[in-house]
Amino acid sequence: MSESGFLPQVEVFDTSLRDGAQGEGIAFSVRDKLAVAQTLDELGVAWIEAGNPGSNPKDLEFFRMAKGLGLTSSRLCAFGPTRKKGVSPSEDDSVLSLLRAETDAVVIFGKSWDLHTREVLRVSLEENLAMIGETVAFFKEAGKTVIYDAEHFFDGRKANPDYAMATLSAALDAGADRIVLCDTNGGSFPLAIQGGVRAAIALAAAKAENRSAPVIVGIHAHDDMGLAVANTILAVEAGARHIQGTLVGSGERCGNAALAATVPSLELKLNLSCLPEGRLERISALARRVAEIANVAVPEGMPYVGSRAFAHKAGMHADGILKVKSSFEHVDPAKVGNDRRFLMSEVGGRAAIAERAKKVDPSITKDHPVAAAVALRLKELEAAGWQFEGADASFELLVRHELGASKPLFSIERYRVVSEHPAPDANSCSNAWVKVLVDGVTEMAAAEGDGPVNALDKALRRALEGFYPELGRVRLSDYKVRVIDGQDATAAKVRVLIESTDGNEAWTTVGVSTDIIDASRAALVDSIEYKLIRDMERSLKTNL
């Protein structure tokens, strides 16, 4: 139970800071890890596995600093292996490092597959059982909550079921509080997962006689067959009451079960409480925050929290949604803190245009003159190569223009971009100069970048930050270029899509030109305009 007193029906255990950090391209600093832990605490997960202090000095530093975080919903866990062959736990530095982390709970992983025992650890089957039991008992004697991770359990159960179950018995007999069945290679099918969970629950029940509290059985699934979320949910249906994963699915190889896609299904479909009341509505925003800290993107197609999770393009779909929300949505997006999106295109229909335009002006209907004007303008722009289905921010600015609801907050009077090759510095092969006008005041700035768009982006922000300091928090998180008609060869028009973020939300803008730099400029200008307008509107609402 957390300090808040909330007791979930299914415990959520997030390993973004340990298993998630093993994903390709992810490297957390200590400051990053502290920020992720605070975010997961805001979400209300029961457990945060924060690292292996025995293998990484940075993790030990994190545990030292984390004492001052004041977490209210989550408990930190340190992670490490069973004792080594022929060494007692009290003499094993990896084991002792978990004590130095000073967490209330520890996660101990041990081998459940006889192949790993013999060929990887190179110990006898009996010695492996002793390693598991003695290590768990050592931490129980030290007053710790012990979560035992049975590595490769499902592969082990398939190869040698008696031995796999014996490893669980060793942990249970030594006093483990939770036993977690790991599909470490991510290669198990749902029926095997459910069979293993039921067998583990039966074993735990048979050994419950001398315990003050029942043992909780958990699941740790990897996504190597794309089944991690499904396997986790089916494990819960089989009786597991502890689920492990990473919030946005990061992790070794293909990643771990994505908790942002798992927890909503458990709460909204199976009516099981996983998070404190009111926290599920924040999962989309908090998933984006964790992804931002990790310098990765939330997959656009991720269920529940991805930008496409509630996106509708076809006119029939949009019309159906407007009449009966459940006709093309299995849950209300507001329940997971996401937004319904109508993708703006020539196939979307005027009803979809009006619904999206209501975010600017709630009075707009499909018969409103602005809806007709926007529909006509969309067709003209799409014929010229523009596309707004993935550029909601640019579409919103288009609506504002047709409404006459906003005037430009700045203009670029002139700009120049120069690239030099070979570059004297690999990180500054381009430089840009820009002159902007804001409320009659001009400002000039220059910047170097590792490409012409990067240099232009830096110069433009540098010129504007004196007027709008909030732009210091904005960065480009994605950049895409599409050639519209390749038959024109090097004279072809290009479409540039830029995704920007301020760490809390993300938005996408579009630019089109035969000049890739000018197309990028158009998308950059829209990105900054959108950010400034949104911030001004929020400020007005706050001051009302």
Mean pLDDT, range 481-488, rounded to an integer = 73
The dihedrals phi and psi of 436, each to the nearest 5 degrees, come to -115, 160
Question: Which CATH number characterizes residue 429's domain?
Answer: 3.30.160.270
Bridge-based pairing state of the strands 341-342 and 311-312: parallel
User: Does pLDDT of 276 surpass 80?
Assistant: yes
Structural domains of the chain, count:
3
User: Does pLDDT of 345 surpass 60?
Assistant: no
What are the tens digits of pLDDT across the range 504-529? 888 999 999 999 999 999 999 999 99
Does a structural domain hold residue 4? no
336, 371, 402 — which closes off a domain?
402
Does a structural domain hold residue 5? no
- Tell me the residue range of the domain where 380 lies: 311-402
Q: Does residue 46 contact residue 75 with C-beta atoms inside 8 Å?
A: yes
Same structural domain, 470 and 365: no
DSSP state of 251: -
Mean pLDDT, range 24-51, rounded to an integer = 95
372, 402, 432 — which closes off a domain?
402
The C-alpha atoms of residue 82 and residue 138 are separated, in whole angstroms, by 10
Does a structural domain hold residue 145? yes
The C-alpha atoms of residue 458 and residue 437 are separated, in whole angstroms, by 17
Q: Which of 3-17, 31-45, 47-61, 427-441 has the highest mean pLDDT?
A: 31-45
Does a structural domain hold residue 367? yes
Mean pLDDT, range 390-403, rounded to an integer = 86
What is the predicted pLDDT for the residue at 362? 84
Same structural domain, 436 and 388: no
pLDDT-based confidence at 118, cuts 50/70/90? very high
Amino acid (1-letter code) at residue 339: D
What is the predicted pLDDT for the residue at 1? 46
The C-alpha atoms of residue 501 and residue 288 are separated, in whole angstroms, by 10
pLDDT-based confidence at 235, cuts 50/70/90? very high
Q: Does residue 431 contact residue 449 with C-beta atoms inside 8 Å?
A: yes
Mean pLDDT, range 478-487, rounded to an integer = 78
Same structural domain, 379 and 427: no
Does a structural domain hold residue 216? yes
Question: Quick check: helix, strand or coil at residue 418?
Answer: strand
For the chain, give the mean pLDDT.
90
Mean pLDDT, range 388-415, rounded to an integer = 85
Does a structural domain hold residue 209? yes
pTM of the model: 0.75
Nearest CA among 425, 440, 387, 416 for reference residue 521: 416
What are the tens digits of pLDDT across the range 163-187? 999 999 999 999 999 999 999 999 9
Q: Higher model confidence: residue 136 or residue 7?
A: 136
Mean pLDDT, range 484-501, rounded to an integer = 78
What is 447-498 written as a DSSP string? EEESSHHHHHHHHHHHHHTTT-GGGGG-EEEEEEEEES-GGGGGG--EEEEE
DSSP state of 69: S
Same structural domain, 287 and 426: no
Same structural domain, 98 and 233: yes
Paired tokens of 346: 């020539």
Same structural domain, 420 and 379: no
What are the tens digits of pLDDT across the range 313-339? 765 665 666 676 667 789 999 999 998
Same structural domain, 387 and 521: no
Same structural domain, 327 and 287: no
Does a structural domain hold residue 525? yes
Q: Higher model confidence: residue 256 or residue 55?
A: 256
Mean pLDDT, range 102-119, rounded to an integer = 97
Bridge-based pairing state of the strands 494-501 and 506-513: antiparallel
Same structural domain, 393 and 450: no
Does a structural domain hold residue 79? yes
Same structural domain, 16 and 113: yes
Mean pLDDT, range 377-401, rounded to an integer = 83
Question: Which CATH number characterizes residue 17's domain?
Answer: 3.20.20.70
What are the tens digits of pLDDT across the range 349-369? 667 777 778 888 888 887 888
The C-alpha atoms of residue 488 and residue 186 are separated, in whole angstroms, by 47
Q: How many CA atoms lie within 13 A of 327 on its CB side?
A: 11
**How many residues appear in the chain?**
544
Mean pLDDT, range 110-119, rounded to an integer = 97
The C-alpha atoms of residue 229 and residue 103 are separated, in whole angstroms, by 28
365, 385, 402 — which closes off a domain?
402
User: Does pLDDT of 4 surpass 80?
Assistant: no
What are the tens digits of pLDDT across the range 405-462? 677 899 999 999 998 877 666 667 899 999 999 999 999 999 999 889 999 999 999 9
DSSP state of 187: -
The dihedrals phi and psi of 235, each to the nearest 5 degrees, come to -65, -40
* Edge-to-edge strand list for the sheet holding 506-513: 475-483, 494-501, 506-513
Same structural domain, 421 and 533: yes
The dihedrals phi and psi of 171, each to the nearest 5 degrees, come to -70, -40
Same structural domain, 125 and 261: yes
Which of these ranges, 54-63, 245-254, 518-527, has the smallest mean pLDDT? 54-63
